[in-house]
Amino acid sequence: MSTSKATDTFKLENPYLTMKDHMYHIGISTTDNLKERFSDVKFVCMGGKKERMRSFAELLYDQLGKPKNSELESEGSEAENCHHHVHRLQNISSSGGRYSMFKVGPIISASHGIGMASLSVVLHELFKLIHFAECKNVKFIRLGTCGGLGLEAGTVVVTKQSYNGMLEDCFKQVSCGKETRYDSHTDPGLSSELLAHAEKLGIKAISGNTLGTNDFFEEQGRLDGALCNFTNEEKMAFLKKAHDQFGIKNIEMESTCFAALCNRVHVKCAVACVAVLNRLLHDDITDDGHMLTEWELQPQRLVVSLIKHHMSL
């Protein structure tokens, strides 16, 4: 696929795709009027938790003035609607049972679960969705939480380059018994826009590299898992090496796969995650729930600001 023209329709290069496809993990098929419903999509925003992505969708719906091209649940009785004046966004993926997905105007808000295996499943199906819908100029953004390295909790990290657990700047895909390495950088322009909006909103944000691992405990150098095959000294040596030698500012479990797959299909992508602790000091979160809720809102506010700006152009 060429990205030379800004108006190019998103198109996958897989020669085995047919127009009859059931994306059952997100509960949608090619028979579901995809072009009519989704061809206007310009942003796909993804995060781990189902309810977080519903909350983000509801924030978008409110901030964008309740756009008519959103997908809402079937309305109840006319009297009930007049009394409550409530229009609830429809979870398009509810029949799939694994993820949540909402459409707010030209934006999809979808959950991806935890880890790269879970992310890759829904990302493949979202790519197919926007392919079959013949969308144009779609941008993908992952937003969520992470562990920071040398950062104050509440700082948003906008990923520049994602590294794997071996501190390699790539994502390794195994298929048919073969390992292939794919580049895992994010789009510099989209990332710069996020940083500019953070400055405008007064949100503390930095650009940095990200460590994306296959595990929450041992691969991230945590001592508090059920199992641990290294010492505290080895843990600290690894984290400091990641920070000092590779410019890694945060650790999470999805960015390496996310960036690599987006690069393979030639869509612009960005990752904005808020650090909820400093891993150079401790392994688990010590702040109260109120602060966590406030921190989780920061990437959402940032992405909403960027989307509103793009829609005003």
Q: Domains of the chain, with CATH numbers?
A: 7-137 (3.40.50.1580), 143-313 (3.40.50.1580)
Q: Measure the CA–CA gap between 291 and 283, rounded to whole angstroms.
A: 17
Contact 130, 10 (CB under 8 A): yes
Burial class of residue 59, CB neighbours in 10 A (0-12, 13-18, 19+) = middle
The two three-digit tokens of residue 247, written as one number: 């410019």
The pLDDT score that the predictor gives to residue 77 is: 39
Q: Measure the CA–CA gap between 170 and 143, rounded to whole angstroms.
A: 20
Instruction: Give average pLDDT by consecutive 10-residue segment, the chain, 313 residues.
Output: 50 93 96 97 98 97 97 66 66 96 98 98 98 97 97 97 98 98 98 98 98 97 97 98 98 98 97 97 82 94 98 91
User: At residue 173, what is the residue type?
Assistant: Q
Q: How many CA atoms lie within 13 A of 221 on its CB side?
A: 28
Sign for the pseudo-dihedral over CA of 273, 158, 214, 141 = positive
The pLDDT score that the predictor gives to residue 2 is: 36
Contact 210, 270 (CB under 8 A): no
Read off the pTM: 0.93
The pLDDT score that the predictor gives to residue 4 is: 38
Cα of 308 vs its chain's centroid, Å: 18
Specify which residues 183 forms β-bridges with.
Answer: 170
The pLDDT score that the predictor gives to residue 76 is: 55
